[in-house]
Chain A
Amino acid sequence: MKKFSLTSFSVDHPWLIVAIIAIITLGFAIQIPKITIDTDPKNMLPATSDVRVYNDSVEKDFALHKDTIVLGIINKNGIFNQTTLEKIARITDEAQKLKGVVTRDITSFTTVDDVISTSDSITVKPLMSEVPKSQQEIDGFKKSIYENPIIVDRLVSRDGTATAIYIPLEPGANGKEVADRVRDIASKEKGNEEYYVAGDPVARDTFGAEMFKQMGFFSPISGMVMFITLYLLFGNLGLISSVMAVAMISIIWSMGLLIGLGYPVHIMSSMIPVFLMAIATDSIHIFNEFYFRFRELRSHAERGNERAESGNARRQAVLDTMKVVGQPVKYTALATAAGFGVLAIMHIIPVKVFGIFIAFGTIVIRLMSFSLIPAVMMLVSEKKILTAASGEDEAENRTANILKNLGAVGTHKSALVVVAGILVLAIAVVGISTINVNNNMVNWFKKGSDVRESDRIMNEKLGGTALGYVVAVSGEDDFIKKPETMKYIETLQRDLEKLPNVGKTFSVVDYVKRISKVFNNNDPAFDKVPDTKEAIAQYLFMFSMSAKQSDLDNVVDYPFRKANIWVQLKTWDAKAIQDVIDKVKTYTSSNPLPGAEFKPAGTAYFNLVWNNEVLYDMLKGFILALIIVFVILVFNFRSFKWAVVAYMPLLFTITVIYGAVGFIGKDFDMPISVLSCLSLGMAVDFAIHFISRFRRRLEDSVVADSSASLNTPINGQLLTDSLLWTAARPGKGIMRNAILFATAFSAMVFAPLTPYVTVGLFIASMMFLSALMSIIYLPALIILFKGWLFKKQ
């Protein structure tokens, strides 16, 4: 007749439970060595996604390389001297020997083709086939370089202090490894040149490599800090070990399952352990209550001698604890699981995986709360608990008083608190409206870091390290060779170059103009697109007779139906390429070119699409989760009204945090988007605990005080007392949870990668905010709306 209760079973067979869990955990743990890692954010979109298929086809059409590393060489005194030029030649030679680079397409002074006109002939040859030695030669070389607009801003800065070597990577090569080897080559050179390595693959692969290092370093540190804090709070190694064990078990189960099912660990899923650790701290509420209960029961037992057997007292304390805390623990876990679980219906696969496995881990944690934790509570030495719990007594008055006072602020000055809250909320909303949805990987590195500095300096000196393409597409062979097409593209380029973040554009037109000028004895009057298609075709043919194949292939396709305009951008911000796309749209719609359309492509464009698909997917999931959590609250409290009240701290916390994100100008990027789901599950926890316990306390008090009734206008004193009791007792659990969080995650603030700093700060401030909100704002709301809240019940 009695329903099976996991808790009482665990209390009665603690060792059995521990053994069963250990065996299951081992089963998941042996999956973990099979781990495969994928650090490329590109893979968040499947290879079959439109943008990737399209980009691949553009790369094929124009024989382009997916990834290119840029080595910047800067000499403050100018690069036009024999030593620096020799270094450029030497480094290019060395770089050509590196594994993983496309040797022949390395672009530098010594490899890029240049068309020049000498007294009696035209020459197509590498810009610097031989290092000039005499001052006269060097001056001549410098002059010829600045006469060639194709080179300026791409290979040499306008001020003559910087040059670049572009090193394309073979498919599958690791950008960080090649970048490291390029740095090695550069570091062998002595002198006052400075070297900077930049480019999308460097940022991406360096981040990928660093990410796992830091996960391995900071997760244990967070764990350690958490452990120490727990010890300071509860003073019993056995019990706090069980909290840590719950965290570890949930991590092992969910990561083991993820790996066992054959999913690679992506950037997103690599955050699962940290998140689960955070979620696992929810079991503090159980300990908090258990300490209170245990002490109370012990003192009863000692006084009344009713329960002489101490084991019984303990058993009762555990069961009682679970009875009162069980409900909120169950629902907080449900809310968290829902917050992440909702990601399962999104369409980006790593987002799905991330959501599902955190939801799974959360459920594991909840399962442990009702099995492992009660079991361990039965196993630890009673004396030790007593010592720890009596230590509680002394500290209790102080903490409890502080919390009571906090609760009292809300209770007694409810109107003021609510109005102040609304004001803060209004300001935060303004902040939110300024949030920028953008994912710039370079910004994942701290200011002053190698990657970020290199990027900044290269963008200052040259056309830009971020690369996008605008592709002119027609359905007609040789369409690109028409003078009107050429002139159209040229005007478009000039138009694009007016954008603030466009550093340089480059197309087949630039070659044609260059050849035209050179062919006509450097006469500037011929620095233009010729008037006939034949002339254009013959110029290009002449060029192709001497230049590298890739020179032309990179800018026109085989049948001359398509042309590729290279657009160098000074930032990876999504807005930069968005501006380009907008500009192309306005230009082409105001004066269309019949028979052709212009489409964006390239890495910068991919990032933009990625931004939109992945980040907006997360945003959608977040909003959906907000709704679902509300529904869960309604179920939990069996009351719409109480759900609304419990929702307030969550709404407030999230609004304020995102308001702050908006005000400090932090982008809504991948780390932030991931955190948003966590914030929602966690921020609602405290409110669930607070209200559940408050309502239970109130009911108990009403039963005790026969003169009061919940149906009559509520007894003010009773209400205030219950609120203050809740603020002091479960409030202590809430505060402990918040402190634990904040300290554990504050360690991450020292991480060298900004996403971890973000995670640390975000979680810590979120916990404090929602703890404070629950303890101050909830009493205020309850007092203010007591008429509405208690009307019918």
Chain B
Amino acid sequence: MNKVSINSFKFQVLCFVLLLATCNLQLATSAFAADAADIMKKSQLTFLYPGKDMKVRVYMKLISKDGKERVREMTMLRKNYQEGGDQRYFIYFYQPADVRDMTFMVYKYAAKDDDRWIFMPALNMVRRIAANDKRSSFVGSDFTYEDVSGRDIEDDNHSIAKEEKLGDKDAYVIKSAPKDEKGADFSYKLSWIDKGNFLPLKEEYYDKRGELYKTFTADEVKNVQGFPVITKRTMKDKKTEHKTEVTYQKTEFNIGLDDDVFTERYLKKPLKKWIE
């Protein structure tokens, strides 16, 4: 009888201690989570929002498993309207040759679906394109629209998986898992964020079976007008062994893009100075 009560007292103590420990653990995790989300937010700003606006000549090489290539060459203009939020993109295509003069415009909103327009020179016609799927391929490359213009930080749960050196750089390794399972192709992704400049050095995407399926790498980082810019990047698909290499040339920031650059009129007839 006596023995039992002592035991049950011990048990209660144990429970209490355990409870405390769990609470602590939870506190620790959520603190970490906040840190992780902050890191990701900061990284996105450095990666996708530097300057007021930007102009860049983009060479994109789509390379198949057996080394066959398709090239896309374009000028991309970008203007920020809200830090970490609304942006506008304008893209003029040089290559492939038969799509030269095609233009593409995106109004990116933080809170709702993007607006996209396309101009078809062969038909001399502008059409709006609905953007229901940010996960679809960007111009046939291994990058999705989301990879190009960024994924909402709030859509994922972030945590610091570990901190390690990648090459000679110290990096946070952030694990991001979508809050809504259906809202992403990946079940989680790992991002190596440079502790120095907060640019992503590498990203690994894991599918619903937990298998790695694509990898992003920042292959060359340059300083342009004081902004760290990833001038060479690769997205490699592990399953198809297809990859896309992107090179940025003639990157310029704060060139003073007018709002009317991002209109239908300019879509049909872009000003030379902006696209060359």
Contact = CB atoms under 8 A, between A and B. Distances in A.
Contact of A535 (B69, B122, B137, B142): B122
B127 A121 contact: yes
B21 interface: no
Listed residue (A124, A545, A557) with the most chain B CB atoms within 10 angstroms of its CB: A545
Listed residue (B137, B185, B213, B239) with the most chain A CB atoms within 10 angstroms of its CB: B137
Contacts of B130: 118, 121-123, 125
B137 A97 contact: no
A558 B65 CA distance: 11
Contact of A541 (B99, B125, B133): B99
Contacts of B201: none
Contacts of A478: 98
Interface in A657-695: none
A544 interface: yes
Contacts of A481: 98
Contacts of A435: none
A103 B68 contact: no
B13 interface: no
A121 B138 CA distance: 18
Contact of B104 (A535, A545, A559): A545
A519 B104 CA distance: 15
B137 A547 contact: yes
Interface string B53-94: 000000000001110111000000000000000000000010
B18 interface: no
B68 A558 contact: yes
Interface string A103-118: 1100000000100001
A487 interface: no
Interface in B146-199: 182, 185
B129 A546 contact: yes
A63 B136 contact: no
B120 A122 contact: no
Contacts of B208: 96-97, 103
B129 A558 contact: no
B102 interface: yes
A537 B121 contact: no
B120 A542 contact: yes
A99 interface: yes
B48 to A, nearest CB: 20
A364 interface: no
A548 B132 contact: no
Contacts of A113: 136
Contacts of B121: 534, 538
Nearest to B207: A103
A449 B139 CA distance: 46
B240 interface: yes
B101 to A, nearest CB: 9
B133 A546 contact: yes
B42 interface: no
Interface in A53-109: 60, 63, 93, 96-99, 102-104
A269 to B, nearest CB: 35
B52 interface: no
B6 interface: no
A558 B64 contact: yes
Listed residue (A118, A122, A538) with the most chain B CB atoms within 10 angstroms of its CB: A538
Contacts, number: 110
A108 B98 CA distance: 32
A120 B120 CA distance: 16
Nearest to A89: B182
B250 interface: no
Contacts of A559: 68, 70
Contacts of B133: 124-126, 129, 546
Interface in A121-170: 121-126, 129
B209 interface: yes
A21 B212 CA distance: 57
A614 B97 CA distance: 48
A544 B137 contact: yes
A123 B96 contact: no
A546 B129 CA distance: 9
Contact of B96 (A126, A535, A537): A537
A538 B137 contact: no
Contacts of A99: 209
A533 interface: yes
B271 interface: no
A462 B88 CA distance: 45
Nearest to A118: B130
B128 interface: yes
A80 B234 CA distance: 43
Contacts of A121: 127-130
A291 B262 CA distance: 105
Given A60-B66, A103-B209, A544 B140 contact: yes
B132 A129 contact: yes
Interface in A520-567: 530, 532-535, 537-539, 541-542, 544-549, 552, 557-559
B118 interface: yes
B98 A122 contact: no
A104 B102 contact: no
B123 interface: yes
A168 to B, nearest CB: 11
10 contacts: A63-B242, A121-B130, A123-B130, A124-B136, A534-B121, A538-B122, A541-B93, A541-B139, A544-B140, A549-B142
Given A103-B213, A541-B102, 17 more contacts: A99-B209, A121-B128, A121-B130, A129-B133, A534-B98, A537-B98, A538-B99, A538-B120, A541-B99, A542-B118, A544-B140, A545-B129, A545-B139, A546-B136, A548-B136, A549-B140, A549-B142
Interface of B: 64-66, 68-70, 93, 96, 98-99, 102, 104, 118, 120-123, 125, 127-130, 132-133, 136-140, 142, 182, 185, 207-209, 213, 239-240, 242
Interface of A: 60, 63, 93, 96-99, 102-104, 113, 118, 120-126, 129, 478, 481, 519, 530, 532-535, 537-539, 541-542, 544-549, 552, 557-559
